[in-house]
Structure 1
Amino acid sequence: MRILVVTLLYAPDGGPSASLFAMLCENLVKLGHQVTIISSVPHYPTGQVNKAYRSKWIQRSIENNVRVIRVRVPSVKRSVLWQRLVQFLIFQFGATYAGLGEQYEVTLITNPAIEIALPFLFLSALRHKATVFFVADVYPDVGIQLGIFRHRIVIALVNAAEQFCLHKADYVWIFSEAFRIGMNRMGVPDERLVVIYSWVDTEFIQPKPRHNLFSEEYDLNNCFTVLYAGNLGLSQEWDTVLDAAQKVQEHNSIRFVFVGDGTGRTSLMTKTSEMRLKNVQFIPFQPQSRIPEVLATADIALVSLQSGITSGSIPSKTFSYLASGRPILALVDKGSDVCILLQKTNSGVCISPNNPDTLVESILKLVGSSELREQMASNGRTYVEQHHSPQKAAKKVEALLIKAVNQRQNQKHV
């Protein structure tokens, strides 16, 4: 089967979706399929295009037997919405142009539609190709909640684009059962929704020694680390974390470590400075090759999402933390999929957002019990090995793509 994938980010770009789709595409190839992916040139999370990718508008390569087509986009300031919208539009024109000459039976296209509406229209809908639309977040809802979309016209355009893709796709792939509510509200019936949870490379991310080159480089060998690794964005609940850091300052060994970059990093650093927190450390975004030792440096791994953001999503970093064999403290809504997962697997603790005192209590409890931390870590590692490997995910996606192709063929014969 010839598969065309269209998504904004692809490895070696930063961001969880980039590495996830690299794993997926490579495993679909191993299952015997021809996979072509169209993405932008690497620019995440800083918004600045890597110098190695500035020479050509369209770049083609073969990477781990996957045909990769990269579209050049301009460097932007990610905190400025109009610049990002221009970047999205340029990517869409380039992706559409690059895909017109491709031959394929089925397309796998990722939301949000504001990033891929034109390729969806010209490479999928107008060509009457079988299509699976992957939904990682419910738009425009998530943008409204985060205050990114404020103007009625922007919200209306985002909603219209998303609705178009949702209703033209043969199937909508969602990351979580909780997404059904949002999708149903947008008019997508249950029979067109398929849940396939995220995955993690359990061979690449494994439990590693707590003391390693990364921990030595950043002077983290002689402290107890509460570590967050990933995008420092707008959806995380940072105030509660910093309040907790302030409350445990007398515990000299505890250090809060933020590894990564994003639109929220500057304001987070500013507030840390204003609060004069000496137990908070910021470390730059790390290349993918260092992720295992970064995660190994965590005594506790932190997931943090604002109230209302968590009900329908499990951040992919959650599975990476579990694979690394680290206990998780999740600052998320009770009843969210993240909380249900950690309770089911007994691999972490959930704390409601805006509750720094409870967060402090949970941290101190884990600080005082290495046995509890080790048990949670072991439980998490065992769970992801059994349920969230990229090989198992690829087989589920393969079945969904075949189902979409068969349905489209059956419609032609009616």
Structure 2
Amino acid sequence: MRILFLTQWFQPEPFFKGLPFVKALQARGHQVEVLTGFPNYPGGKIYSGYNIRPWKFELMDDVPVHRLALFPSHDASGVKRILNYLSFGLTAAAFGPFLIKKPDVIYAYNLVTLGLASSILRTLYRCPVVYDIQDLWPDSVMHSEMMKQSILQSILNTWCRFVYRKASHLTTLSPGFKAELTERGVPEENVSVVYNWCDEKHLSMADKDDAIISEIRGKESFVVLFAGTMGIMQGLDTVLDSAHMLMKIEPKVKFVFVGGGIEQKRLEQSVVQRNLTNITFIERQPPEKMNTILKAADVLLVHLKDTVLFRITIPSKIQAYLFSGKPILMGVQGDSADIIRDSGAGKVVKPENPESITMGILELFRMSEAERSVMGKNGRKYYDKKLSMQAGVSCFENIFYRLLEK
């Protein structure tokens, strides 16, 4: 089977469904060609070794990759972020048909701004398009405060409905997303839930860093670790409030934030102003160190603001946390909470509720190490069975074959 992999992001950007996914498809005998942009995520600057030009071809680990020009940006500016998305969508539509070989199926990753390109390619080559929906547009754009409510929301909503209905098939990351898409008019049989997987290769590495472990663990501490993006929608002020409460209730509890984002500096300033001595920030680390970092914690924290959208979202860090085999404190309602309950991998608390988070941490703190270990093992078993890359690739492969049989 010839598969066109249409995505704005690809390696060397940190993209879990990029090169590893393509290599897994190749290992099953499929030919995959990639149409993508110049690497600039997450910093919004073009990576060293690349210069923006109309088109560049490279062979990456025996994978043919076509890179097209885009407007690099990934900051808090809604206008710049939209320009980033639109620019690649337009160049893919304009140049894609002249660069790629005829595919049997097109896999388009996430952005509805790829709708024009995928529609043109689908019409030109008369092949099915599978859209992998990771963010529910336009909801995710509006909730992220990238732009204010305006006529643009109406335009985006109309365009999204067009893209969703024109796709041959949609895959999505959660049951809640599927339900929402069917409510918007997409036939239920045209939507499949395919859970995301994590970066299994890097999370299996044992790149031990004693200095980082020491920084995380401290002395006789019970470590609650948050890894990933520190943005507006993570609602991490609530976690700071919980840390303030726990300074008095249980001084052994320590919070560690690993990563970066537009809220990091403000959060660090707040920690200093409030004299929260039980919080440590560690800069974003390379993927090969994350296994060591996650395993150094006692509990791994997930937290998002309490919105309707996030109740049907499964943050990508959940897969990495489950894979690591550590207990999870889940501060997200809905589908994410269901995974923790079904797997027995941790505790569920109310988001944006410092009292609930504090009580959840204390429950885990007061458990024996053996009890917490069982939770971690439960999570890893659940991941291997339902969320692993091989499970996901098999789902996509079955969808591709079904579409070709029609």
User: What TM-score comes out, normalization by structure 1 length?
Assistant: 0.89
CA contact (8 A) 1:110 1:135 kept: yes
CA contact (8 A) 1:45 1:261 kept: no
Which secondary structure does the structure 2 equivalent of 1:109 belong to?
strand
Amino acid at match of 1:406: E
Give the Cα–Cα distance (whole angstroms) in 2 for the partners of residues 51 and 244 of structure 1: 40
CA contact (8 A) 2:195 2:386 kept: no
- In structure 2, what is the equivalent of residue 315 of structure 1? 315
Matches within 5 A, 1:6-405: 6-14=6-14, 18-54=15-51, 56-76=53-73, 78-100=75-97, 101-103=99-101, 104-114=103-113, 116-125=114-123, 127-202=125-200, 204-206=202-204, 212-213=209-210, 215-216=212-213, 218=215, 220-222=217-219, 223-250=221-248, 251-308=250-307, 309-333=309-333, 336-369=334-367, 370-405=369-404
Structure 1 residue 364, shift from structure 2 partner: 1.9
Structure 1 residue 330, shift from structure 2 partner: 0.7
CA contact (8 A) 1:212 1:297 kept: no
Structure 1 residue 129, shift from structure 2 partner: 2.4
Larger CA deviation: 152-161 vs 322-331: 152-161
CA contact (8 A) 1:327 1:347 kept: yes
Which secondary structure does the structure 2 equivalent of 1:76 belong to?
coil
Structure 1 pair 61–192 and aligned structure 2 pair: CA distance change class (3 A):
same
Which secondary structure does the structure 1 equivalent of 2:329 belong to?
strand
CA contact (8 A) 1:58 1:94 kept: no
Give the Cα–Cα distance (whole angstroms) in 1 for the partners of residues 257 and 129 of structure 2: 38
Amino acid at match of 1:107: I
Structure 1 residue 358, shift from structure 2 partner: 1.9
Structure 1 pair 276–122 and aligned structure 2 pair: CA distance change class (3 A):
farther
Structure 1 residue 9, shift from structure 2 partner: 1.7
Structure 1 pair 160–356 and aligned structure 2 pair: CA distance change class (3 A):
same
Per-residue displacement from partner, 1:225-270 (whole Å, max 9, x unpaired)? 2111112223212122111011112444322111112233333334
Which secondary structure does the structure 1 equivalent of 2:203 belong to?
coil
Structure 1 residue 311, shift from structure 2 partner: 1.9
Give the Cα–Cα distance (whole angstroms) in 2 for the partners of residues 37 and 392 of structure 1: 22
Give the Cα–Cα distance (whole angstroms) in 1 for the partners of residues 53 and 21 of structure 2: 26
**Where in structure 2 are there 5+ consecutive unaligned residues?**
none
Amino acid at match of 1:179: F
Give the Cα–Cα distance (whole angstroms) in 1 for the partners of residues 67 and 233 of structure 2: 28
CA contact (8 A) 1:174 1:194 kept: yes
Structure 1 pair 45–273 and aligned structure 2 pair: CA distance change class (3 A):
farther
Which secondary structure does the structure 2 equivalent of 1:150 belong to?
coil
Give the Cα–Cα distance (whole angstroms) in 1 for the partners of residues 234 and 155 of structure 2: 26
Give the Cα–Cα distance (whole angstroms) in 2 for the partners of residues 46 and 267 of structure 1: 18
**Where in structure 1 are there 5+ consecutive unaligned residues?**
408-414
Which secondary structure does the structure 1 equivalent of 2:73 belong to?
coil
Which secondary structure does the structure 2 equivalent of 1:13 belong to?
coil
Structure 1 residue 57, shift from structure 2 partner: 4.1
Give the Cα–Cα distance (whole angstroms) in 2 for the partners of residues 59 and 225 of structure 1: 46
Structure 1 residue 133, shift from structure 2 partner: 0.9
CA contact (8 A) 1:306 1:353 kept: yes
CA contact (8 A) 2:321 2:328 kept: yes
Per-residue displacement from partner, 1:87-120 (whole Å, max 9, x unpaired)? 2222223333442121211111122313x23322
Structure 1 pair 23–117 and aligned structure 2 pair: CA distance change class (3 A):
same
Which secondary structure does the structure 2 equivalent of 1:173 belong to?
strand
Amino acid at match of 2:265: T
Which secondary structure does the structure 2 equivalent of 1:38 belong to?
strand
Structure 1 pair 48–252 and aligned structure 2 pair: CA distance change class (3 A):
farther
CA contact (8 A) 1:53 1:72 kept: no
How many residues were matched structurally?
Answer: 400
Which structure has more relative contact order (CA 8 Å, sep 6+)? It is: 1
Give the Cα–Cα distance (whole angstroms) in 1 for the partners of residues 126 and 239 of structure 2: 49
Which secondary structure does the structure 1 equivalent of 2:34 belong to?
strand
Larger CA deviation: 4-13 vs 91-100: 91-100
CA contact (8 A) 2:41 2:74 kept: no
Q: CA RMSD in A?
A: 2.3
Give the Cα–Cα distance (whole angstroms) in 2 for the partners of residues 198 and 135 of structure 1: 11
Which secondary structure does the structure 1 equivalent of 2:65 belong to?
strand
Structure 1 residue 347, shift from structure 2 partner: 0.4
Give the Cα–Cα distance (whole angstroms) in 1 for the partners of residues 34 and 218 of structure 2: 41
Amino acid at match of 1:310: F
Give the Cα–Cα distance (whole angstroms) in 2 for the partners of residues 208 and 346 of structure 1: 26
Give the Cα–Cα distance (whole angstroms) in 1 for the partners of residues 205 and 251 of structure 2: 26
Give the Cα–Cα distance (whole angstroms) in 1 for the partners of residues 211 and 10 of structure 2: 25
Amino acid at match of 2:65: V
In percent, how many aligned pairs have the same letter? 27
Larger CA deviation: 67-76 vs 235-244: 67-76
